[in-house]
Amino acid sequence: MSILITGSTGVIGSQVLAHLQGKGVEVRALTRSPEKARFPAGVTAVKGDLSDLESTRQALAGVSTLFLLVSNASDELTQALQTLNLAREAGVKGIVYLSVFKSAEYTNVPHFTGKHTVERMIEQYEMPATVLQAAYFIQNDSRQKDALLQHGVYGMPIGSKGLSMVDIRDIGEAAARELLRREQANAPLPRETYALVGTDVVSAESAAAIWSEALGRPINYAGNDLDALEQRLKAFSPGWLAYDLRLMFGRYQTDGAIATPADIARLTTLLGRAPRGYRDFAKVMATEWAKG
């Protein structure tokens, strides 16, 4: 039997594969283009696409544990529900599903509500799954390089309420640990849910202060302009996704997304250490950028 990783060529899928390397389990990676994929040694590329029902059904044959990551798509919810149904039919004994932090609360944000619907299916059918609710990725802010270095501003309109951003390496490690636990169990295990969060609460003001310290120069916050954000996103994303993300940032501004001490303690237990924080990320990026 084997572990199947979906979203295998993306940022998170790559982290999951890296953390599974050398763990003594058979790993398969779903990809539309196996001939182009570059996976770690020992990973078997499997041709398939979650939007293609038959290829997904074939990919699940012989799979005992599934990492389900459905990328942003207009039919994301349909892909996720179909895949879970196919996994049940295939007799998959363990699932790790990548959801989003505050999935139940941000009801007006399409991809949050979609992921919460998937969580409801997992609960209703008592599926043997771990739900990982990931906060905003720390590494998203590596895209702020030009704004920070050339213009002296932090440009993501996150507002003043605060976010418990998560490091993508912690997502990969948490997912790998749960995949291995479920794969190596003799029988399906009960459902679990973890908030994947960081130790630092990052607001507009604290982000500017952290980057000012890391870069050794004054950094200002660019402001809460969601119209400008949507227009920037539309330059490289479809309009529906740009609007979805605009709504997400609107909720960040009005409500924030802050982890509780219990969230952090639970994740610490899973990782065997404290989750990484934003301040350390900023220091590392500043050093790398200084090297050119």
Q: Which CATH number goes with the domain that contains 121?
A: 3.40.50.720
Judge whether 83 lies within some domain.
yes
Judge whether 225 lies within some domain.
no
Judge whether 39 lies within some domain.
yes
What pLDDT does 178 receive?
98
Percentage of the chain surpassing pLDDT 70? 100
pLDDT tens-digit series, residues 89-101: 999 999 999 999 9
What is the rounded distance in angstroms from the CA atom of residue 173 to the CA atom of residue 146? 30
CA triplet 177, 118, 251: central angle to 5 degrees? 95
pTM over 0.85: yes
Judge whether 232 lies within some domain.
no
Judge whether 92 lies within some domain.
yes
What pLDDT does 195 receive?
98
What pLDDT does 257 receive?
98
What is the rounded distance in angstroms from the CA atom of residue 192 to the CA atom of residue 110? 24
Judge whether 55 lies within some domain.
yes
Residue 42, phi-psi category: left (phi > 0), alpha (psi -120 to 50), beta (remainder) = left
Judge whether 234 lies within some domain.
no
pLDDT value at 136 more than 90: yes
What is the rounded distance in angstroms from the CA atom of residue 60 to the CA atom of residue 66? 8
Per the structure, how many domains does the chain have?
1
What pLDDT does 292 receive?
81
- pLDDT averaged over every residue in the chain: 97
The mean pLDDT of 257-286, rounded to a whole number, is 98
Judge whether 130 lies within some domain.
yes
Q: Which domain holds residue 80?
A: 2-135+167-196
pLDDT value at 1 more than 90: no
Residues 6+ positions from 161 with CB-CB distance below 8 Å:
203, 252, 253, 254, 255, 256, 257, 258
